[in-house]
């Protein structure tokens, strides 16, 4: 079965600044290199869903009437992602992300929202038929929260499953979003901000995941970097799915790859959640071994080959 996935989210061009380490306050350091790649959490997740699971993927979003916007539209179309509901905004420029990439592979990211922040509930309403025909609707927090709330409420009316990636983190997510979320997937930093529980070991990870489940009443999957992902869901035993030990080059888009890959494999009743999370961990492990956001997202064939 091929999943039908709609991604509601952000489209950015990433400018990556390669540095040995982050500067201290008041310090000036040299870049070792710079590079540019297509990104945005929404776009990354859509590409991951399409590449890793061959899912029928469509996008709701906005780009600017500029070269960056044209580049993003062309790239998504080349990935065979439906771009009919990506509006070209004549007033706001395309979103930008500035990535400080350290030699360790860890990154820090600064976002300029641009046209992503101009997305409206009317854009969602214009895509109702698209959402109704989908198995899953994925959203992140790089777009206005009111737009997510509108989309999730409608999705549940028409029995489309909703997946929330609460990133960048919003400590107090609106109840209108949480009550219409079927599965929430933060990383450990985001989970800590949502629950107030610091994750220091496996015991506190369990506490945090259970608190997240109580907060949302949704299935919860917390990604914990090179440790893997911990999940809590109805009728499934809480468990940690370990990640493969791999050399890390760049962690950009690892979380987005995880979500896109997981949803590409997930059944609408969530009964295969463990297998879908295991597949997503494998896909993310491939992503961190290459530079850039979308350039590092693997194909389904690459993920399958990595099991051997």
Active-site residue 256, yes or no?
yes
Contact 92, 62 (CB under 8 A): yes
Contacts of 98 (CB under 8 A, 6+ apart): 14, 15, 17, 109, 110, 111, 112
Binding residue numbers: 12-14, 40-44, 142, 187, 223-228, 250, 252, 255-256, 287, 290, 292, 296
Q: Cβ distance 210 to 238 under 8 Å?
A: yes
Tell me how far CA of residue 216 lies from CA of 53, 219, 247, 263, in angstroms.
27, 8, 35, 19
Q: Cite the beta strand spans of the chain per DSSP E.
A: 4-8, 12-19, 33-39, 56-64, 82-89, 95-102, 107-112, 136-140, 161-165, 183-184, 219-223, 228-233, 236-242
Question: Catalytic: which of 89, 123, 135, 256?
Answer: 256
* CA gap 188, 199 in Å, rounded: 7
Annotated binding site for ATP: 187, 223-228, 255-256
CA distance 8 to 62: 10
Q: How far apart are alpha carbons 211 and 199 in whole angstroms?
A: 12
Percent helix / strand / coil, the chain, rounded to 5 = 40, 25, 35
User: Binding site for K(+): residue ranges?
Assistant: 250, 252, 287, 290, 292, 296
Annotated catalytic residues are 256
């Amino acid at each position: 079965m091929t999943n039908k996935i709609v991604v509601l989210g952000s489209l950015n061009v990433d400018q990556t600044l390669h540095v040995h380490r982050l500067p201290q306050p008041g310090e000036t350091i040299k870049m070792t290199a710079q590079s540019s790649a297509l990104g945005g959490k929404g776009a990354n997740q859509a590409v991951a869903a399409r590449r890793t699971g061959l899912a029928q993927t469509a996008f709701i979003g906005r780009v600017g009437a500029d070269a960056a916007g044209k580049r993003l539209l062309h790239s998504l179309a080349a990935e065979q992602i439906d771009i009919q509901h990506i509006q070209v905004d004549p007033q706001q420029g395309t979103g930008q992300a500035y990535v400080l990439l350290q030699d360790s592979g860890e990154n820090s990211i600064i976002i300029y929202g641009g046209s992503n922040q101009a997305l409206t509930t009317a854009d969602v309403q214009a895509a109702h038929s698209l959402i109704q025909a989908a198995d899953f609707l994925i959203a992140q927090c790089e777009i206005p929260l009111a737009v997510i709330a509108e989309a999730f409420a409608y999705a549940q009316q028409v029995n489309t499953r909703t997946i929330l990636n609460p990133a960048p983190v919003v400590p107090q997510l609106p109840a209108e979003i949480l009550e219409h979320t079927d599965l929430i997937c933060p990383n450990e930093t985001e989970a800590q901000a949502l629950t107030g529980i610091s994750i220091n070991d496996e015991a506190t990870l369990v506490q945090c995941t259970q608190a997240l489940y109580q907060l949302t009443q949704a299935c919860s999957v917390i990604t914990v970097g090179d440790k893997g992902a911990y999940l809590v869901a109805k009728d499934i035993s809480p468990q940690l799915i370990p990640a493969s030990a791999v050399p890390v080059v760049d962690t950009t888009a690892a979380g987005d790859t995880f979500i896109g890959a997981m949803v590409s494999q997930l059944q609408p009743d969530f009964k295969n959640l463990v297998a879908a999370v295991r597949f997503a961990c494998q896909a993310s492990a491939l992503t961190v071994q290459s530079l850039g956001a979308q350039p590092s997202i693997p194909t389904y064939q690459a993920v399958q080959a990595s099991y051997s």
